[in-house]
Amino acid sequence: MIIPVRVLSNQGPMRVELARWRDRLVVVKRLSGFSPMLADRLKREAEVVHKLEHPNIVPLLATEGDTLIYAYCPGLSLAEALVQGALPLMRSVKILQDILSALAYAHSQNVIHFDVKPANILIKGEHSLLTDFGFAKDLALTEITGQQMMLGTPNYMAPEQFKGVRTDHRSDIYAAGAVLYHALTGKPPYGSQVLRFLAGDDRVPLDPLPAKAAPLQGVVATALKRQPKDRFASAEAMLDALKAVPS
């Protein structure tokens, strides 16, 4: 039996709640209204996350009908941590190392997240976890969202994803670079001009990293390349580049 404690978010017919289930606190994701499309997405999210077991991915404990029951990970989101501005360099690096480890594993399971952003990164002590696979794609499963439908968050979305392409794991590499840029500067790349950049305007300037973050300039620049072929080839490659940054 699921006993709601409080609502964590309520976006349209999709509701996320803190609840009690089997004598433990959990996070419950379910529909509060009628939406066949979102019901299909919840079912697909369950299919995707159910096969993922990694210390940096919030685990799915069970499903009950159209309700997804996730482990409760007390802490704060990276989005909340960034309200006060940029994070220290090595703190930013550690968070991204954890997330890249999660992505490397997910990609090895043919899963692309497609919505890596500060709000979907939970910080629990010294560890960070990736959550919300609601927009994820399992390359081994039949597509349920049309290739031309844009899903994701523009500030952290790769240009090809903006155009509706949902087949390249390097879209997650771009998003990881955008998150790292935000953590180091206190703002997402391209700011209010991000849609111009995503639409193909290379005249949109990208402000440089602050001097203290200069050692990461190459990592960020590579991750944020417009063309997927010019980015890191894998999450492991970006992770190795971060590990090589002097502390």
Task: List, in sequence order, the alpha helices (H) in 76-228.
Answer: 78-81, 89-108, 159-162, 170-185, 194-198, 217-223
How is residue 66 written in tokens?
Answer: 């159209």
User: What is the H or E stretch that residue 108 is in?
Assistant: helix 89-108
The 3-state DSSP class for residue 180 equals helix
User: What is the H or E stretch that residue 15 is in?
Assistant: strand 14-21
With CA atoms as reference, report the closest residue to 179 among 108, 121, 112, 242. 121
Q: Which residues are catalytic?
A: 115
What gap in Å lies between CA 71 and CA 220, rounded to an integer?
Answer: 32
